[in-house]
């Protein structure tokens, strides 16, 4: 499917660019810590950003990546970066057609998907059936000061809340959900911790209003990868993010959290 080129272009803001940068740094650490070599992202969507790019960091860390329901616009970036050799794609229909237990990948994960699931248990069971070792969720952190502003913007402008169940915006409740569903040894942490608050909601408001209007994305992060050079400000912000503070003390300014755990061995 070709990517349309005559549509309005939505450029990812600097906060999204930094988010991608910080996630790639996190993924490199996780790959080393857990010896991850193969990754599946279920599904490979986008949260107010270009879809199918969140696993780029795993590919940059040397992993083989499989994207479920990837979109052509994001796949074009993979090819442009020369990372398509480490990439496979599969549709959700093809994935569900595999045998019940096809634990092919070291890690099954997704980004900001869990809160919008009507049946989250079905999602985690699918992820468990794909992973031979680990499962991870990355979601927006409800304890960031910007989250409360975002909620207020939705209320004042009477924009429906489309971001899903608030409970899954908490690392503690997500951890309990994972444990109830057979994931053990769960660890959680924070990522994307710049000195500015998470989106107060005004950009979100604009994107809500243009939701039915087709547009394409521009991803500055991919340009930095191409040049193998990132801005100094980004490196300084990340140095602050990596200060050795407990995760709980970073919650008020972290935009995202991750929760990763080991899949219970149910294979006889």
| Residue whose structure tokens are 């790959």 | 31
Residue 267 has what pLDDT?
A: 42
* Cα–Cα distances in angstroms (integers) from residue 68 to residues 36, 71, 131, 226, in the given order: 18, 9, 14, 25
Residue 174 has what pLDDT?
A: 99
Distance CA 46, CA 54 (A): 8
Residue 4 has what pLDDT?
A: 52
Query: Which residues have CB under 8 Å from 166's CB, separation 6+?
Result: 115, 142
Distance CA 202, CA 213 (A): 18
Q: Using CA atoms in the order 147, 152, 153, 155, what is the torsion angle rounded to 10 degrees?
A: 130
Distance CA 260, CA 29 (A): 13
Distance CA 101, CA 130 (A): 7
Q: Which domains does the chain have, with CATH numbers?
A: 9-263 (3.40.50.150)
Residue 32 has what pLDDT?
A: 99
**Model pTM?**
0.92
Q: Per-residue pLDDT for the chain (268 aa), expressed as one digit of tens each?
A: 455 557 788 899 999 999 999 999 999 999 999 999 999 999 998 777 899 999 999 999 999 999 999 999 999 999 999 999 999 999 999 888 775 667 899 999 999 999 999 999 999 999 999 999 999 999 999 999 999 988 888 888 888 888 899 999 999 999 999 999 999 999 999 999 999 998 765 566 666 665 655 568 899 999 999 999 999 999 999 999 999 999 999 999 999 999 999 997 654 3
Residue 7 has what pLDDT?
A: 72
Residue 211 has what pLDDT?
A: 60
Residue 70 has what pLDDT?
A: 97
């Amino acid at each position: 499917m070709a990517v349309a080129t005559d549509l309005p272009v939505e450029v990812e803001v600097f906060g999204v660019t930094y988010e991608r940068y910080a996630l790639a740094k996190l993924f490199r650490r996780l790959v080393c810590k857990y010896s991850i070599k193969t990754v599946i992202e279920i599904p490979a969507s986008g949260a107010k950003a270009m879809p199918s790019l969140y696993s780029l960091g795993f590919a940059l860390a040397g992993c083989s990546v499989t994207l479920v329901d990837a979109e052509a616009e994001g796949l074009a970036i993979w090819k442009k970066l020369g990372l398509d050799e480490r990439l496979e794609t599969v549709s959700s229909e093809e994935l569900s057609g595999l045998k019940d237990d096809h634990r092919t990948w070291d890690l099954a994960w997704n980004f900001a998907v869990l809160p919008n699931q009507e049946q989250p248990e079905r999602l985690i069971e699918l992820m468990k059936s794909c992973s031979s070792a680990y499962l991870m969720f990355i979601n927006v952190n409800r304890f960031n000061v910007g989250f409360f502003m975002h909620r207020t913007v939705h209320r004042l402008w009477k924009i429906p809340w489309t971001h899903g169940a608030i409970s899954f915006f908490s690392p503690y409740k997500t951890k309990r959900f994972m444990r109830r569903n057979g994931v053990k040894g769960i660890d959680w942490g924070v990522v994307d911790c710049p000195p500015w608050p998470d989106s107060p909601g005004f950009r979100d408001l604009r994107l809500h209003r243009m939701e039915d209007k087709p547009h394409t994305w521009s991803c500055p992060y991919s340009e930095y990868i191409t040049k193998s050079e990132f801005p100094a400000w980004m490196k300084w912000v990340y140095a602050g993010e990596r200060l050795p503070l407990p995760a709980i003390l970073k919650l008020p300014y972290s935009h995202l959290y991750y929760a990763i755990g080991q899949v219970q061995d149910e294979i006889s």
